[in-house]
Amino acid sequence: MKDKNTVLLIFTGGTISMSEDPTTGALRPIDFYRLQEYLPELKQTGIEIKSIPFSPLMDSSDVQPETWKEIALIIEENFENFDGFVVLHGTDTMAYSASALSFMLKNLSKPVIFTGAQLPIGMMRSDAKENLLTAIEIATAKENGKAIVPEVCIFFEDTLFRGNRTTKKNAEHFNAFNSYNYPPLAKVGVHIKYFNSYIHYPDPSAKLEVNTNINPNIAILKLFPGITQQNVHATLNIPELKAVILESYGAGNAPRLTWLYEELKTAVQNGIIIVNKSQCSTGTVEMGKYETSLNLLNAGVISGYDCTTEALVAKLMHLLGEYHSTEEIKQKMSVSLCGEMTVS
């Protein structure tokens, strides 16, 4: 039996992995040993912490599907040796990466906690210290010998979110993320209060399955007043295109333009999957509720329900990588695979 809880830190990069050069003032990457200098509290946690850094560390704006695969494979390779995993990641694409990992890691029974910072760890007012220490504590939290939060999550400031429900909302404040359509999994103050009824627990008899096949041939088409047929036609006719996220108005509405209906209908008939996503942060798509959504329904557009754009991107890429049947993918888009949406 292990004497200590164990956590694997996966350094991908981002602001949390930077420090300020005292000579030039420029930000530079740090390694785990330098991190321990900034955070002597790591040694006081009583948790055995190991680290695997990306080389080189990367800005999250440079994150690609290959990055998601690398993180997933690191977790798979080390899964039996650690109680939990903390991924240090830049904030700009953190919600995309957390969403992707939630689909790649099927039957996950241990915490995978993404965190980062708005200010580099070496700066006096940095939020990195509290974010990282709390993420580590959550990654090892157990009840009756089982992980309290066996999910892919994002922890930031004082809140733990389900990763595939989360969106970056603020580039300036420390409360950089929100989960608009799903409650938090935990709130952190003097104590960590877990909301167990909102946490997803896996089948205890099922083993971890890691699926890293990805097909990135998707597009996002955002509607706006005055959008032209040329714009829509060009998007729907991108070579190798397999799926489109259509960002519509309100509860899933669109202009009642004959050409728009025909363009969408033709694309669907050509095997392109079109998913309706509301431009609103809160609420769900309800096609058929208003007359302005009937054309989308009749054209064969399917509902994205209350999914975030980040989760839809990850889910479509994942399903397109795993399945070849358009109808099978559409069917799986209509159900929640890992808590990414609410289907009424």
In sequence order, what are the residues at sequence separation of 6 or more whose Cβ sits closer than 8 angstroms to the Cβ of residue 257?
Answer: none
pLDDT of residue 68: 97
- Beta-bridge mates of residue 19: 28
Two structure tokens written together for 334: 């209509």
pLDDT digits (tens, 9 = 90+) for 15-46: 777 766 666 766 666 666 666 666 767 776 78
pLDDT at 124 > cutoff 70: no
Mean pLDDT computed over 185-191: 94
pLDDT of residue 283: 93
In sequence order, what are the residues at sequence separation of 6 or more whose Cβ sits closer than 8 angstroms to the Cβ of residue 220?
Answer: 244, 245, 247, 309, 313
pLDDT of residue 123: 63
pLDDT digits (tens, 9 = 90+) for 189-204: 989 999 999 999 988 8
Active-site positions? 15
281: pLDDT confidence band, cut at 50, 70 and 90?
very high
- Tell me 43's DSSP state: G
pLDDT at 1 > cutoff 60: no
Alpha helices in the chain (DSSP H): 32-38, 65-78, 94-104, 128-139, 229-236, 258-269, 294-299, 309-322, 326-333
For the chain, give the mean pLDDT. 90
Mean pLDDT computed over 153-182: 91
Q: Which residues of 274-293 are buried (b: 16+ CB within 10 A; e: fewer)?
A: bbbbbebeeebbbbeeeebb
pLDDT digits (tens, 9 = 90+) for 134-151: 999 999 999 998 999 999
Picking from 119-128, 192-201, 282-291, which range would have the lowest pLDDT averaged per residue? Answer: 119-128
pLDDT of residue 128: 72
Q: Dihedral, CA atoms, 175, 276, 101, 151, nearest 10 degrees? A: 70
Nearest to 220 by CA among 277, 181, 260: 277
Mean pLDDT computed over 108-121: 88
pLDDT digits (tens, 9 = 90+) for 201-259: 988 889 999 999 999 999 999 999 999 999 999 999 999 999 999 999 999 999 999 99
- Percentage of the chain modeled with pLDDT above 70: 90
Cα four-point dihedral sign 163, 28, 118, 188: positive
What's the CA gap between 342 and 181, in Å, rounded? 9
pLDDT at 169 > cutoff 60: yes
pLDDT at 304 > cutoff 60: yes
70, 89, 131, 160, 325 from 137: Cα distances, Å: 24, 17, 10, 12, 42
Nearest to 168 by CA among 219, 115, 124: 115
Picking from 55-59, 132-136, 305-309, which range would have the lowest pLDDT averaged per residue? Answer: 55-59
Two structure tokens written together for 129: 């210290």
pLDDT at 293 > cutoff 60: yes
Q: What is the three-class DSSP state of 259?
A: helix
Domains of the chain: residue spans and CATH: 6-210 (3.40.50.1170), 218-333 (3.40.50.40)
Phi-psi region of 14 (alpha: psi -120 to 50; beta: other; left: phi over 0): left
Two structure tokens written together for 53: 């850094």
Q: Are 10 and 74 in contact (CB under 8 A)?
A: yes
